[in-house]
Amino acid sequence: MPIEIVIITGLSGSGMSTALNAFEDLGYFCVDNLPVKLIPTFVDLYSRAEHDAEVEKTALVVDVREGGFLADFPQIHSSLIMRGAKVTVIFLEADTSVLVRRFSETRRPHPLMASNLADAIQAERDLLAEIRAHADEIIDTTTHTVHTLRHYLTDKYRTEAKDMVVRVISFGYKHGVPQEVDLLLDVRFLPNPFFVPGLKELTGIDRDVIDYLKAQPEVGETLNHFSQLLAFLLPRYKREGKSYVTIGIGCTGGRHRSVMISQELAKKLTDAGYEARASHRDLNR
């Protein structure tokens, strides 16, 4: 069996440590800030030794703290693939304003500290542009918390799951579309509980909002159409080897319609035999 290597990289403050912790939870042998030039040596040592379950799956964080990263990574990445290693590069990033806030909250210095923090972040973004181009997955952590990022990675990369995992995430368009969605469904055409007296301050997980929406014929029809669409699409995604699908359900604010629809759709997918779960990005905004 070839060694599996997940290389976690990206912008400082975007959640690389959290990502590494997620892979440690999944049983990966994890190394933070391993010099890039030592990665082939690590693979060679593994290939010469007895196969050890502890190092069959490895996750590494490499970033601008490591001096040779920018110059050496593209060539070493290619050489690992030529040696037969299964390599996945995950690149984490976030909006500059969010990164500035995170650094301000932790009071940690940016590794490329320039005249101001925003300039340092932009310099790092420019330096990593070529590395980003090698990424197998780019994760925007702007709207992620430590917990949601960890759950996302552990759900997506756990290998013991035999069936397709489906994540249904509700959100509000006024807060931006989640970057990680594979399928995007818009429910802003449905009647909005926000304008119904007594429902504005509630959410789509409250019984009064659920009852109001279920009383609207369009809601049941929409759920049936969405279910039929997914019944057609998901088996074909699975046939092509996709084991994880994220479905985004959006309404205006992400607190009423999208939440209720996401909950109901996840239930229908579970009843259909999928491992499905709903999460709500903007529920508390």
Please state whether the predicted TM-score (pTM) of the whole model is above 0.85.
no
Supply the pLDDT for residue 85: 85
d(CA 62, CA 57) in angstroms, rounded, equals 16
- 129 and 11 in a common domain: yes
Supply the pLDDT for residue 53: 47
Which amino acid makes up residue 259?
Answer: V
- 152 and 15 in a common domain: yes
Supply the pLDDT for residue 67: 67
Supply the pLDDT for residue 1: 59
**Among 120, 141, 157, residue at a domain's last position:** 157
- 242 and 104 in a common domain: no
Helix axes 207-214, 217-239, angle to 10 degrees: 90
Question: In this structure, how many other beta carbons lie within 10 angstroms of the beta carbon of residue 271?
Answer: 10
Tell me what the pLDDT averaged over the chain comes to.
88
Q: Which residues in the chain come in under a pLDDT of 70?
A: 1, 46-55, 67-68, 114-115, 159-163
Supply the pLDDT for residue 46: 65
- 233 and 177 in a common domain: yes
Phi then psi for residue 82, to 5 deg, are -65, -30
pLDDT in tens, 169-212: 999 999 999 888 999 999 999 999 999 999 999 999 999 999 99
- 243 and 112 in a common domain: no
pLDDT in tens, 59-90: 999 888 776 677 888 888 888 888 888 899 99
Nearest one of 32, 3, 279, 85 to 166, comparing CA atoms: 279
Confirm if 6 and 39 have CB atoms less than 8 A apart: no
98 alpha carbon, distance to own chain's centre:
17
Range of the domain at 36: 4-157
Nearest one of 115, 132, 99 to 7, comparing CA atoms: 132
**Among 157, 174, 190, residue at a domain's last position:** 157
